[in-house]
Amino acid sequence: MKHMRCMLTCLAALMTLSACSMSEETSAENPQATTADDPPVEIILSEEPEQEAPGESDLGLSGPPVSGGSGSASIPDDIYVPGMGGAPDRGDNESHSAPPPPSPAPTRDHAPAPEIPEDIPAEYAELLEEYADDPETQAVLLDMIRGQGSAGAPPAAAGPGYQKTCQAETTPRRTLLITCQDMATGVLTQATHPIGSDLEAALVTVAKDLSGPDVEMGIVETPLCFWSETVQITDNRFFSMCPEWEYRYSQLAEDAAANFDTGRIAHHAPQQMVLQQPYFLEVAIQPLQKESDQDSVDESLTAAMGTGLAPDSEERALDLSFDTIRAGSVMSVSAVGEGYDILATTPQEQPLLPGTATVWQWQVTPRQPGTPLLTFTVSETVEVNGRSLPRTVKTIPLNISVTRLDDLLADTGPVDTDADTQERSLTSDTSTPVETLVTPPSEASGASLMNASSASGPDADIPGCKWVDGADPDRQAMVLSNLAYSPPVSRLAETHEDGERMTEALSAVGFSVLQCEDLGQRQTVRALSMLGRMAKARTDMGAHPVTFFYYSGHGVNIEGTNFILPTDIPGASPDDIRDMGVSFEQIFNRVSSTVAPTSFVVFDACRTVMDDQSRGLMRAYSPVGWASGVFQAFATEPGKTAADDGVYSEELASNLRTLPDPANVVFKRVQDAVAARTGQKQRPVYTDGTTGGDFYFKEASQ
């Protein structure tokens, strides 16, 4: 019997390799499906679905496995994780009592050796010839090769005719762990399914899900067998017991999970924080295996942290810091800082799984001005004398400046400008019609509203800006459109029209708007500070103001920081941009949730700077992962540029003033409309970080 098991195991391996070979020969369009001695193994854990009635769950195992890391996988508490211990308990009491072991299959008494058919592949024929003097074994082998199972076993046992085969086994928390293997590539995928009160019913649900729509007619796309040493379920036409000679897929997955000792790590954090303002900081780690491509792993990390590039972008993400570290199957990451309140939103200790990123996140609120130390500590969990102990593999100190909000919003005073800038200065205009009133009109003028926001009385006369009164004192906006750049930065054409239509739309839904054109760096910061002071004044009075910042012009990402480019920037080198650009930190901190409970920041930017000096350096924006309480919107996907044609502002202005829907629905409609108008060449994105319920630009009753 032991000899028979070894022989069958060898046959199973041969059939798998043959399937790889046949797939390669018959599928010229899939060059990746090649035979390998050590095929790549990828493990994907899907979140366990809620408890539900059998027959209502879709495992979603039919889709292709995620390649190169398209996101992170979260791991519920009741999922058995390969490599983490806690293997399925073979001794637990299932709801079914274990029946007596089935009787051995009848033997073929001295049956004559079957003739070897001519259509049997050569490698199988050689194996059959080795057992020419054992007709009984040869008959079993021939049945298996033809995909008919062994000794009466149903076709759910794997055969070379299937593209994928699956095994199910129980876990200690009464879930089914389903492990599937692609027979052509060897790639493994995993998912879980709740058992509920009936194990057999749960297995039937899974088997039907995998078998496909024609299962009632006996056509099975992906067979399922149940692996258990204590429970036997026989005579079920949808699944079988796994043959004892077959490889256990979950063990293969566990072996693959341990097949790495290094990994890539990425993290992000703002360079500046505001005292008492919460931020979300993240660290992500993904294993590096011998077949891993580092660039693909970095793309996976970037996507998992929500700051990734578009899938077909040729740009490299610069808003994250990457490194290579020692990594094990279980890692711990902590954030520590004396001057911060730190709340972990993910477990400190988590497993690493090949092919996917694991993310750690904290809500960090600074409570000490200056530069209080904040450090990420990364540890590997190792076994020492039977104990699991952490071993530090990397510490990441963060250089963050913490400032008081009042200091950040302080008025810097008038800015000296040349004659050209003075000519561009716009006069005050309060004649913009208000089509929709959310609250009764305020009697305060623009100037008095601004003066009410600060005891120091900010100077409202910023060259290049005009004030447009709105109906709601708790809605303030700044619209900035930059067009008049000087070489080597290219001049734009449509941005002023963008600003005009956005000012009209915001005014129509009650916003007071500080409309600005062609501002330099200091003017931009002054205008932003004024917007923050107005909102903070309302907050201090007990109101719940809303701020809205819209920018149309050049925007870039340089070495981890997003910038908008003022019109007085002297050049397009990284040093010019760092010194004279206006960073996202400067913008977000001035319209943060500490300033206003609800804030919108919209970048209709990412125009390419066309000159030799900047080529290769001008990169489009990526969403800011650390922002808290801010709704971010971008005219195009991360890593792509937007056309200077007004399409985004037209759709945003139109939908914002007409749709009586929540803000996130409005921006989804804008996303779809822009993508349709541009033939999918430009697809806007948005990230809703606001809290406290839905916000409506236009009420349904209006």
Strands in 327-424 per DSSP E: 330-336, 340-344, 349-351, 358-366, 374-384, 387-398, 401-403
SS3 589: helix
Residue 523, classified by CB atoms within 10 Å of its CB into exposed (0-12), middle (13-18) or buried (19+), is: buried
Torsion of CA 78, 81, 86, 90, to 10 degrees: 90
* DSSP label at residue 265: E
Tell me how far apart the alpha carbons of residues 655 and 678 are, in angstroms, rounded to a whole number: 17
Nearest to 303 by CA among 73, 74, 625, 71: 71
Which pLDDT score, from 0 to 100, does residue 626 have? Answer: 75
Residues recorded for the chain: 702
Q: 367: which residues sit within 8 A by CB, 6+ positions away?
A: 275, 276, 339, 340, 341
Cis peptide before 488 (omega within 30 of 0): yes
Which pLDDT score, from 0 to 100, does residue 181 have? Answer: 85
Whether the model pTM is above 0.85? no
Q: Which amino acid, residue 97?
A: S
Nearest to 587 by CA among 626, 633, 549: 549
Tell me how far apart the alpha carbons of residues 335 and 396 are, in angstroms, rounded to a whole number: 9
Which pLDDT score, from 0 to 100, does residue 643 have? Answer: 77
pLDDT in tens, 186-233: 777 788 899 988 999 999 999 999 988 888 877 888 999 999 988 999
Q: What are the CA-CA distances from residue 313 to residues 50, 293, 316, 558, 559 (Å)?
A: 37, 17, 8, 16, 17
Tell me how far apart the alpha carbons of residues 183 and 360 are, in angstroms, rounded to a whole number: 34
Nearest to 333 by CA among 378, 363, 389: 378
Spatial contact of 601 and 667, defined as CB atoms under 8 Å apart: no
Which pLDDT score, from 0 to 100, does residue 431 have? Answer: 34
Q: What is the DSSP string of 410-421?
A: ---------HHH
Tokens 């058992």 belong to: 195
Which tokens in the block code for residue 4?
């028979």
Distance of CA 617 to the CA centre of its chain: 25
Nearest to 264 by CA among 291, 285, 295, 281: 285
* DSSP label at residue 370: B
Spatial contact of 568 and 579, defined as CB atoms under 8 Å apart: no
Which tokens in the block code for residue 172?
């200690």
Nearest to 121 by CA among 95, 99, 147: 147
In 212-346, where does DSSP find H-type helix?
249-257, 294-304
Which residue ranges of the chain lie beneath pLDDT 70? 1-114, 118-119, 121-123, 127, 144-161, 256-259, 291, 306-319, 412-460, 559-560, 606-623, 625, 639, 700-702
Which pLDDT score, from 0 to 100, does residue 524 have? Answer: 94
